[in-house]
Amino acid sequence: MERPEPSYPVGLRLTGRRCLVVGGGELAAHKAAGLLAAGALVTVVTEEPGAGLCALEVQLIKRRYRPTDLQGCWLAFAASGSVTLDRAVFADAEAAGIWCNVPDDLAACAFYLPAIARAGPVSLAVSSDGMSPALSSLLRDELAVALSDAIAQVADILGETRQALRAQGRPLHGLAWREFASELVEHARRGTPLAELSQCAERWKARASTLGDVLAE
């Protein structure tokens, strides 16, 4: 089997964006649920919605798909289970410049979905570019042991530190962010309380501010 061209990994911000799902079964419900979890405004078009879909807070249109259903959409999933229909949705989306994914059909995917593990704002994503979702999920589960609530706290502290320095007008480039992150992660893995992590961040912020004065000259 020929390998697909390498994909370009991104994290999409879908809050408030309209997305379309075509299909009424469990697969369509799964895709719709994932979009909702990301804050998307989800429209589902299907003649026969299953119980899973009916339980979701989506705009449900009970009829056959029409190409005009893609108008105003930012992202689409064609998950009807009908090769003919799903390929038609993909072709329409391509023509309209809309990203579309047809599950289990590599030739009809503008993007692939990785297997994801999360800890607060930290996401770990493993992709096989659609070749083997099972392998992606297996590796995701093995790597996910590195994530924890403590890692989520570290991410929050790092983000707050960056925002504080930016608000002060300090340059962020040239600072030892990786070294700082490594120090916080090591503390977190040893079970250091959040208050002590915050104190560590304050000390580093003071040093970074001083360095920022030098870089700004």
pLDDT digits (tens, 9 = 90+) for 58-102: 999 999 999 999 999 999 999 999 999 999 999 999 999 999 999
- Whether the CB-CB separation of 27 and 41 falls below 8 Å is answered with no
Please report, as a single letter, which amino acid is at residue 132. Answer: S
Residue 116: helix, strand or coil by DSSP? strand
Q: How confident is the model at residue 130 (pLDDT cuts 50, 70, 90)?
A: confident
20-34: pLDDT as tens digits: 999 999 999 999 999
Rounded to an integer, what distance in angstroms lies between the CA atom of residue 120 and that of residue 150? 10
- Please give the class, per CATH, of domain 18-111: alpha beta
Going by C-beta distance under 8 Å and a sequence separation of 6 or more, which residues neighbour residue 4?
106, 129, 130, 131
* Residue type (1 letter), 135: L
Q: What would the pLDDT profile of 108-122 be if each residue is shown by its tens digit? A: 999 999 999 999 899
Question: Could you tell me if 124 and 167 are in contact, meaning their C-beta atoms sit under 8 angstroms apart?
Answer: no
Burial class of residue 217 in the structure, from the number of CB atoms within 10 Å of its CB (0-12 exposed, 13-18 middle, 19+ buried): exposed
Cβ(87)–Cβ(108) below 8 Å: yes
- The two three-digit tokens of residue 33, written as one number: 């649920």
